[in-house]
Chain A
Amino acid sequence: MIDLISIALITLGGVLIGLGVHFIPVGGAPAAMAQATGVGTGTVQLAAGAGLTGLISAGFMYNFLATSGSFTTSDFILVLASGAVGAMIMITVTMFIGQLVYVYCVGVPPVSAKVDVDPITGDRQDIYVSKGTEGHGVPTVSFVSGTIGALFGGMGGSLVYVQLMQIGNAPSDPAIVALAGIFATGVFYVNAVLASYNIGGTIEGFHDPKFKRVPKAIISCLVASLLCAIIAVPIMGGVS
């Protein structure tokens, strides 16, 4: 009998990753030239960087809790929280340092071109957009959105990893750890790339009109993650 709960949780992890990517403000190549709001890199690149940092944190926490006694539901939640916070630290540090480059090196104010007023700070945005650009830097609304995105992405990646480790049921076995880690990375990339296609290049965060495309991404990530889970669970030994 195949383990349906594990398949459901791994699928949920994939959907969380897909959802999280939509929150992360990425401006792609135009942002690297201060022509668009957001971080100057690709959607998948930044989401994967943050989510996989979260995976490293989650691996640390899972190893600590699972090898020191029974692994309870509260431990499960703690590992997910640790993964989410690891991803949030990476993305906030990256966005903050990126902001320093925009403000002190390139000489542009952080501004959104998609809204006239920042929904969080209430600052006027449209008059700070320089000529011929689609905004630049990481305004507060995008910064907060990115942090939320990392929370979902880190949590989703950790959920996939922890569930695979639970199926493997051998927290100290390096082969099981490696298999679960690389599968979690794979599921992360599958969903990040899918979400990236849905975004189509650049997004400023949850205030961007493109964010309304999220339902489509959730459906496609659900299908893709389900397929990944159906392959992963038996390989990890989840068939009895």
Chain B
Amino acid sequence: MIDPITGLGIVALMGALATIAGAAEDLESDVGSQSNPNSQVQLAAQMDFPHRIFNKAISGEPPAYGLWCATGATVASVLLAQNMSVIFAIAIGSLAGAILLGLFSVTAHMGRTASQKRFKQPIYMDMVIGHVPSIIAHGFIAVFCIISFSYIMDHVLSHPFPLPLLAFLWGITAGAIGSSTGDVHYGAEREFQNQPFGCGLNAAYSGNIVRKAESGLRNGIDNVWACAKFGGPVTGLALGFTVFFDNWRSTVFSGVNAVIAGLIIVLILILANRLVEVQGRKAYGPFKDEDGGAETA
């Protein structure tokens, strides 16, 4: 049993690693365009808007990251069993997961784009060469950090789950958080900067994504540049908070007290959400008059 101060330090380190992992996970999905916003990239060519955005919806982000992390953690476990140093074992394992991500990215992008030949969407080979290293690099950081805090949880905090299972579960959680938070910045804001800010995207504009960049034609690298200013960091915060709060309560408290502490955190978040909701309503609405009639502009 570790003492509480050391335990808190370890939990803080895990939270920091999770924050980096969450940010890298979201930014990787922005470079390559994965998850729900990619439906618009896929749709764009079909609506006669050919583009230079990387198109790789390999699968939903949670199962995808579950796979990369489980692969990396399995390789790391094997190397650890051969007495390799922890950092090297996790780094090599993460590299294996990241290379797998790169392979899937190439096949997913080429397969998806080739299927859109009838809509005259070209496959740009320079895009494949330019985007895939960035996807692998972001994926490596995300997988490395997820396996690292899973390793700490497994070997230092003595979690009963084996490392690959723990990394698999945290990979799924990281993907779910990235898909739910940071991707909204990419999908609702960055892809549709040709619409007025705050209009809420009218379904009639589906597929009409921005295709011109600040300079030249827009691609995934331009998207990650913008999303790194908000979507990526807040995704990191979300995963970091989840890992930190969940482990903090069971490190500082035990038994029923840990459950009560968790419920208090949940209650605080419900109230915080209400404050943000009230602020949003004051700032942006209403869009119609009180009778629900004419638009107020």
Contacts of B173 in A (CB 8 A): 49, 52-53, 90
| Interface residue A230 (Cβ < 8 Å from any Cβ of B) | no
Contact assessment for B61 and A45 in the assembled complex, using a CB-CB cutoff below 8 Å: yes
Contact assessment for B159 and A39 in the assembled complex, using a CB-CB cutoff below 8 Å: no
Contact assessment for A107 and B284 in the assembled complex, using a CB-CB cutoff below 8 Å: yes
Query: Would you give 27 A-B contacts (Cβ < 8 Å), ordered by A?
Result: A32-B188, A39-B180, A40-B183, A41-B60, A41-B176, A45-B175, A48-B176, A60-B159, A61-B258, A82-B258, A89-B262, A95-B269, A96-B272, A96-B276, A97-B238, A98-B180, A101-B230, A103-B280, A106-B184, A108-B280, A108-B284, A129-B287, A136-B200, A137-B277, A143-B273, A147-B266, A147-B270
Contacts of B48 in A (CB 8 A): none
A56-B170, A124-B286 known; A140+B273 contact, CB < 8 A: yes
Give Cα distance in the complex from A39 to B201, angstroms. Answer: 15
Contacts of A39 in B (CB 8 A): 180
- Looking at the assembled complex, report how far the CB atom of A67 sits from the nearest CB atom of chain B, in whole angstroms: 8
For the complex with contacts A35-B201, A95-B273, A100-B276, 10 further pairs of A-B residues with Cβ separation under 8 Å are A40-B187, A97-B235, A98-B184, A101-B188, A108-B284, A110-B280, A127-B292, A132-B200, A133-B203, A137-B280
Contact assessment for A131 and B295 in the assembled complex, using a CB-CB cutoff below 8 Å: yes
| Interface residue B246 (Cβ < 8 Å from any Cβ of A) | yes
Contacts of B198 in A (CB 8 A): 106-108, 130
Contact assessment for A94 and B175 in the assembled complex, using a CB-CB cutoff below 8 Å: no
Interface digits, B242-258 against A, CB 8 Å rule (1 contact, 0 not)? 10011001100011101
Contact assessment for B273 and A133 in the assembled complex, using a CB-CB cutoff below 8 Å: no
- Looking at the assembled complex, report how far the CB atom of B63 sits from the nearest CB atom of chain A, in whole angstroms: 8
Contact assessment for A56 and B166 in the assembled complex, using a CB-CB cutoff below 8 Å: yes
Contact assessment for B36 and A28 in the assembled complex, using a CB-CB cutoff below 8 Å: yes
How many pairs of A and B residues are in contact by the CB < 8 Å rule? Answer: 293
Contact assessment for A101 and B185 in the assembled complex, using a CB-CB cutoff below 8 Å: yes
Category for how many chain A residues contact B: 35 or more
| Interface residue A59 (Cβ < 8 Å from any Cβ of B) | yes
Give Cα distance in the complex from A70 to B217, angstroms. Answer: 66
Give Cα distance in the complex from A129 to B255, angstroms. Answer: 44
Contact assessment for B255 and A107 in the assembled complex, using a CB-CB cutoff below 8 Å: no
Contact assessment for A45 and B176 in the assembled complex, using a CB-CB cutoff below 8 Å: yes
Q: In the complex, which residues 31-66 of chain A have their Cβ closer than 8 Å to any Cβ of chain B?
A: 31-35, 39-42, 44-46, 48-50, 52-53, 55-57, 59-64
| Interface residue B39 (Cβ < 8 Å from any Cβ of A) | yes
> How many residues on B have C-beta within 8 angstroms of the other chain's C-beta atoms?
87
Residues of B within 8 A of A (CB): 35-37, 39-40, 60-62, 157-162, 165-166, 168-170, 172-173, 175-177, 179-185, 187-189, 191-192, 197-206, 230-231, 234-235, 237-238, 241-242, 245-246, 249-250, 254-256, 258-259, 262-263, 265-266, 269-270, 272-274, 276-277, 279-281, 283-290, 292, 295
Taking chain B's interface residues, is the majority helix, strand, or loop, or is none over half, making it mixed?
Answer: helix
- Looking at the assembled complex, report how far the CB atom of A64 sits from the nearest CB atom of chain B, in whole angstroms: 7
Interface centre among A30, A44, A93, A144 (most CB of B within 10 A): A93
A100-B234, A106-B198, A131-B202 known; A57+B246 contact, CB < 8 A: yes
- Looking at the assembled complex, report how far the CB atom of A179 sits from the nearest CB atom of chain B, in whole angstroms: 10
Give Cα distance in the complex from A88 to B263, angstroms. Answer: 8
Contact assessment for B200 and A49 in the assembled complex, using a CB-CB cutoff below 8 Å: no
Contacts of A92 in B (CB 8 A): 265-266, 269-270, 273
